[in-house]
Chain A
Amino acid sequence: MTAPLLGMRDIDKRFQGVKALSSASLEVAAGEIMALVGQNGAGKSTLIKVLTGAYRRDGGSIAFGGEPIDFASPHEAQRGGISTIYQEINLVPFRSVAENIFLGREHRRYGLLDWRRMNHQAAELLRRFAVELDVRRPLMGFSTAIQQMVAIARAVSFKARLVIMDEPTSSLDEREVAVLFDVMRQLRAEGVAVIFITHRLDELYQVCDRVTVMRDGRTVMTSLMAEVDKLHLIAAMLGRDLETVRAHATGFSATSAKAGEEVLSAEGLRIGRKVRDARVEVRTGQIVGLAGLLGSGRTEVARAVFGADPPDAGTIRLTGKEVTPREPADAIALGVGYCSEDRKADGIVPDMSVRENLTLGILPRLTQMGVVDEARQRAIVDRFMARLAIKAASVEQKIRELSGGNQQKVLLARWLCTDPKLLILDEPTRGIDVGAKAEIQSLIRELADQGLGVLMISSELEEIVEGADRVFVLSDGRTVADLPHTAASAPAIMAAMAHEDPAATGTANG
């Protein structure tokens, strides 16, 4: 191999004395797709931020295209040929597609903006990635995948020689992921290097040439993709020996639980345009998986059952009573809890303490004449901190300072302390590192065994296959399959997901 396009060597970075990176390194060749993996906190994003100039490094050297570089800001890196596509799409939703592509270096004519030329070029650029759309429409009208494409088109139009994609697939469905991978291959063909960061290991094998694994701020492994299997990859990320990894592919032990009485039954749900005819049923002591591609209406069903967005039609029976909850408070009163998919936006109250976050749901019950009984509050907090092994400096620590896994545990505890009959979990392990993930999964099993009814939404097939006692599969807003544990194999679920009507194909393009 000739000299690499990018060479980062012996990078050190400290935050207030705490080492975030210690002699980390990363090499990427032109026309190569390099996977960058590691648990949360392994230092991937710190390394990227050092590269793009968002952080200053404390030591080490960076060479790009043979020249030593030292970018002061992401903008400078962009001009130097390194573009980053962030997890949360960093574009301006109100502005048009063309504007988003050209912001920062607009075409001018007679000193005024040349809209005709910019619109024309934007359309041309997107066509290269097989995307046809009206570039004059505001970006907010398009799907996440399209917005992602626009971000990539923007990067490419900057003549980027290296494109960094930070978890670009986390909110895409499989079709959209396939389109994205085509774009990545196209970039590779044009000699552009790509750094691809993801939590979904399966995806690596589809597009990546090589993989770099990070752990505890160090680079622990670099290998050709073809030469390393998934188990070895996980082992390298975790730093554990292979035997323990093999024993727990997920934290679920598939005990087929005895189903008790019904806690939730919803039928004929229709919600907006996304859900047309959904059905789901949960009994006590059961984990029910709700599977489906992104956009199939999973979250909408969960929110409807919980009263967050009441359905337009259909019947809901909660704990034997036929009700349509209008507000979450109604559902909570009936013994339902809901952990949302987006912890940061819908879960935690960042500036409040662990204690207040944990008891937010149960607080009305700890209140007499409007005054909170703090002794009881503290007792509950202590009990659940211990039971869920939540790691925090103290119960008064602000929840935003906790790791993702511990935040999720606090949110689980928020519901568990209300002694619910039904717990709805929307992507309970998304964005959580592998260790905490297994812990949360086994906790969910344990709770179900104790008689809790669980409705679990997950994009990870393994989680559904191994964890659920019964699986409902949604496709395009309809429940298309209802599989018992024995029949819920990965192929069976995927086959059910694939059942879709042709109208759905159009929605991906906006």
Chain B
Amino acid sequence: MADAPTIAGKGASFDVTAFFRRYAALTALIVLLAFDFAVTPNFASWQTLNVNLTQVATIVIVSVGMTLVIATGGIDLSVGSLMAIAGALAPLIFLSPFGRAHPGLGDALAFIIPVAAAGLLGMFNGWFITRFQVQPIVGTLVMFIAGRGIGQVLTNGNLQVFKNPTFQFIGLGRILGVPFQVIIMLALVAAAAWTFRRTLFGRQILAVGGNERAARLAGVPVNQVKRWVYAISGLCAGIAGLVVVSINSSSDANLVGLGMELDAIAAVAVGGTPFTGGQASVVGSLIGALLIQLVRYTLLANGVPDAAALVVKGLIIAGAVWSQQRGKFT
């Protein structure tokens, strides 16, 4: 809950153990960084930073939307499938005869249409959940199952290989040496953190998650708020899908975003946003994702097999959530 103190922390006396429990993920991240600087070979390099940030960017982008959804007390299992749809659509557009005839317009549409489509499907999730009063986990399970199928049907399951520097700037480009997707990631995190802190929408999200019935009776447009968070989650997934296919120079609807829903949820959970809703920390989700990524990197860089890193990842997720809960109860 990195951005919590300005909201709730005033007047509370400073307690060291409470601080470390509360910021378990951040503390772990700092300890791990210290370890890496001391032990891991070639850690203190620009390249290492870029590799890690690049790998974590898509997860963070998806986690931003996921944080909003979880703050309303919901969950979005469909993000991976929406990534696959966006990833499938983009090459279809700029490789189409129209896209080839008008490269500028084609590339622009290859950004806009897939992201908009993912946003609309996200909006559909929200509509389905609110209209039929379905549990979010079931409501988005529909899109999880059907969405990847849609992506596969669009491409007939084929791998689309391409080379389109303009379009691929989103995944391969750099501004002042910083990978473009990292800039997108930071911009989205900042925007979402600002939304929670300063805007009506942010407070309405927290009110809906904190007590939905009370929020409705206080005039909060509950259903509308929910539809928007799922739509935003869809938009984030769409952007992440484009980043992934750009990096790969290819789009495979069978694989793009596979398992992303769980990675993003894990990042949000490690970051300290509770599943019950009503509280949120976007910066926490960023830290959570960074922590998970850095643990994996550290293990691989020190010769531990990837499979073992999976086990450690599992332990980290359980450990982080456990320590936050202890922090809350004491």
- A: residues with CB less than 8 A from B are 306, 308, 327-329, 332-333, 338, 340, 345-353, 356, 360-361, 363-364, 367, 370-372, 374, 393-394, 396-398, 414
Q: Does B304 contact A (CB under 8 A)?
A: no
Q: Kindly provide the distance from the CB of B216 to the nearest chain A CB, expressed in whole angstroms.
A: 6
Q: Does B231 contact A (CB under 8 A)?
A: no
Q: Is the CB of B218 within 8 A of A328?
A: yes
B3-11, B106-114, B285-293 - the one binding chain A:
B3-11
Q: Is the CB of A308 within 8 A of B219?
A: no
Q: Is the CB of B217 within 8 A of A396?
A: no
Q: Is the CB of A351 within 8 A of B11?
A: no
Q: Kindly provide the distance from the CB of A417 to the nearest chain B CB, expressed in whole angstroms.
A: 12
User: Which residues of the other chain, A, contact B207 by a CB distance below 8 angstroms?
Assistant: 349, 352, 356, 360
6 contacts between A and B (CB under 8 A): A332-B218, A349-B207, A351-B278, A361-B219, A370-B201, A393-B11
Q: Is the CB of A327 within 8 A of B221?
A: yes
User: Which residues of the other chain, B, contact A351 by a CB distance below 8 angstroms?
Assistant: 210, 278-279
Q: Is the CB of B203 within 8 A of A356?
A: yes
In-complex Cβ contact of A396 among B11, B204, B278 (8 A): B11
Which 7 pairs, one residue from A and one from B, show the smallest C-beta to C-beta distance?
A: A349-B210, A332-B219, A360-B218, A329-B219, A367-B200, A349-B211, A394-B11
Q: Contacts A345-B214, A350-B278 known; list 7 others, CB within 8 Å.
A: A349-B207, A349-B210, A349-B278, A363-B203, A372-B198, A396-B11, A397-B11
Q: Is the CB of B217 within 8 A of A306?
A: yes
Q: B residues 37-60 with Cβ under 8 Å of A?
A: none
Q: Which residue of chain A has its CB nearest to the CB of B223?
A: A327
User: Which residues of the other chain, A, contact B215 by a CB distance below 8 angstroms?
Assistant: 349, 360
Q: Does B61 contact A (CB under 8 A)?
A: no
Q: Kindly provide the distance from the CB of A323 to the nearest chain B CB, expressed in whole angstroms.
A: 15
User: Which residues of the other chain, A, contact B218 by a CB distance below 8 angstroms?
Assistant: 328, 332, 360-361, 414
- B: residues with CB less than 8 A from A are 7-11, 198-201, 203-204, 206-207, 210-211, 213-221, 278-279
User: Which residues of the other chain, B, contact A306 by a CB distance below 8 angstroms?
Assistant: 217
How many residue pairs bridge A and B at CB < 8 Å?
87
Q: Kindly provide the distance from the CB of B192 to the nearest chain A CB, expressed in whole angstroms.
A: 14
CA distance A393 to B9 in the complex (A): 12
Q: Kindly provide the distance from the CB of A307 to the nearest chain B CB, expressed in whole angstroms.
A: 9
Q: Is the CB of A364 within 8 A of B214?
A: no
Q: Is the CB of B216 within 8 A of A328?
A: yes
Q: Which residue of chain B has its CB nearest to the CB of A345?
A: B213
Q: Is the CB of A360 within 8 A of B220?
A: yes
CA distance A340 to B7 in the complex (A): 27
Would A348 and B199 be within 8 Å (CB), given that A328-B219, A360-B220 are in contact?
Answer: no
User: Which residues of the other chain, B, contact A414 by a CB distance below 8 angstroms?
Assistant: 218
Q: Is the CB of A350 within 8 A of B200?
A: no
Q: Kindly provide the distance from the CB of A146 to the nearest chain B CB, expressed in whole angstroms.
A: 25
User: Which residues of the other chain, B, contact A346 by a CB distance below 8 angstroms?
Assistant: 213-214, 217
CA distance A345 to B215 in the complex (A): 10
CA distance A332 to B203 in the complex (A): 18
User: Which residues of the other chain, B, contact A333 by a CB distance below 8 angstroms?
Assistant: 219
Main secondary structure of the interface of A (DSSP, over half): mixed
In-complex Cβ contact of B200 among A329, A352, A363 (8 A): A363
In-complex Cβ contact of B219 among A350, A364, A393 (8 A): A364
CA distance A351 to B217 in the complex (A): 17
User: Which residues of the other chain, A, contact B9 by a CB distance below 8 angstroms?
Assistant: 396
Q: Kindly provide the distance from the CB of A329 to the nearest chain B CB, expressed in whole angstroms.
A: 4
User: Which residues of the other chain, B, contact A352 by a CB distance below 8 angstroms?
Assistant: 206-207, 210, 278
Q: Which residue of chain B has its CB nearest to the CB of A308?
A: B217
Q: Kindly provide the distance from the CB of B327 to the nearest chain A CB, expressed in whole angstroms.
A: 14
Q: Is the CB of A353 within 8 A of B214?
A: no
User: Which residues of the other chain, A, contact B219 by a CB distance below 8 angstroms?
Assistant: 328-329, 332-333, 360-361, 364
Residue among B9, B213, B279 with most chain A CB within 10 A: B213
CA distance A353 to B210 in the complex (A): 11
Q: Is the CB of B11 within 8 A of A349?
A: no
Q: Which residue of chain B has its CB nearest to the CB of A331?
A: B219
In-complex Cβ contact of A370 among B7, B199, B217, B278 (8 A): B199
CA distance A397 to B204 in the complex (A): 19
User: Which residues of the other chain, A, contact B213 by a CB distance below 8 angstroms?
Assistant: 345-346
Q: Kindly provide the distance from the CB of B275 to the nearest chain A CB, expressed in whole angstroms.
A: 13
Q: Kindly provide the distance from the CB of B208 to the nearest chain A CB, expressed in whole angstroms.
A: 9
CA distance A414 to B220 in the complex (A): 13
Q: Which residue of chain B has its CB nearest to the CB of A342?
A: B213
CA distance A349 to B205 in the complex (A): 12
User: Which residues of the other chain, A, contact B203 by a CB distance below 8 angstroms?
Assistant: 356, 360, 363, 372
Q: Is the CB of B198 within 8 A of A371?
A: yes
Q: Is the CB of A349 within 8 A of B214?
A: yes
User: Which residues of the other chain, A, contact B214 by a CB distance below 8 angstroms?
Assistant: 345-349, 360
User: Which residues of the other chain, B, contact A340 by a CB distance below 8 angstroms?
Assistant: 217
User: Which residues of the other chain, A, contact B198 by a CB distance below 8 angstroms?
Assistant: 371-372, 374
User: Which residues of the other chain, A, contact B8 by a CB distance below 8 angstroms?
Assistant: 353, 396, 398
Would A396 and B10 be within 8 Å (CB), given that A370-B200, A372-B199 are in contact?
Answer: yes
Q: Is the CB of A353 within 8 A of B7?
A: yes
User: Which residues of the other chain, B, contact A327 by a CB distance below 8 angstroms?
Assistant: 216, 221
Q: Kindly provide the distance from the CB of A362 to the nearest chain B CB, expressed in whole angstroms.
A: 9
Q: Is the CB of B221 within 8 A of A329?
A: yes
CA distance A349 to B206 in the complex (A): 9
Q: Kindly provide the distance from the CB of B13 to the nearest chain A CB, expressed in whole angstroms.
A: 12
Q: Is the CB of A338 within 8 A of B217?
A: yes
CA distance A351 to B206 in the complex (A): 9
Q: Which residue of chain A has its CB nearest to the CB of B213?
A: A346
Q: Is the CB of A372 within 8 A of B200?
A: yes
User: Which residues of the other chain, A, contact B221 by a CB distance below 8 angstroms?
Assistant: 327, 329
User: Which residues of the other chain, B, contact A348 by a CB distance below 8 angstroms?
Assistant: 211, 214
Q: Kindly provide the distance from the CB of B228 to the nearest chain A CB, expressed in whole angstroms.
A: 12
User: Which residues of the other chain, B, contact A361 by a CB distance below 8 angstroms?
Assistant: 218-219
CA distance A394 to B13 in the complex (A): 13
CA distance A153 to B278 in the complex (A): 39
CA distance A332 to B215 in the complex (A): 13
User: Which residues of the other chain, B, contact A350 by a CB distance below 8 angstroms?
Assistant: 210-211, 278
User: Which residues of the other chain, A, contact B10 by a CB distance below 8 angstroms?
Assistant: 394, 396
User: Which residues of the other chain, B, contact A338 by a CB distance below 8 angstroms?
Assistant: 217
Q: Is the CB of B200 within 8 A of A328?
A: no
Q: Is the CB of A364 within 8 A of B200?
A: yes
Q: Which residue of chain A has its CB nearest to the CB of B210?
A: A349
Q: Is the CB of B11 within 8 A of A371?
A: no
Q: Kindly provide the distance from the CB of A212 to the nearest chain B CB, expressed in whole angstroms.
A: 33
Residue among A346, A360, A367 with most chain B CB within 10 A: A360
Q: Kindly provide the distance from the CB of A28 to the nearest chain B CB, expressed in whole angstroms.
A: 34
CA distance A82 to B95 in the complex (A): 76
User: Which residues of the other chain, A, contact B7 by a CB distance below 8 angstroms?
Assistant: 353, 396
CA distance A341 to B240 in the complex (A): 46
Residue among A351, A374, A397 with most chain B CB within 10 A: A351
User: Which residues of the other chain, B, contact A349 by a CB distance below 8 angstroms?
Assistant: 206-207, 210-211, 214-215, 278
Q: Kindly provide the distance from the CB of A24 to the nearest chain B CB, expressed in whole angstroms.
A: 27
User: Which residues of the other chain, B, contact A363 by a CB distance below 8 angstroms?
Assistant: 200, 203-204
CA distance A370 to B220 in the complex (A): 14
Q: Kindly provide the distance from the CB of B240 to the nearest chain A CB, expressed in whole angstroms.
A: 25
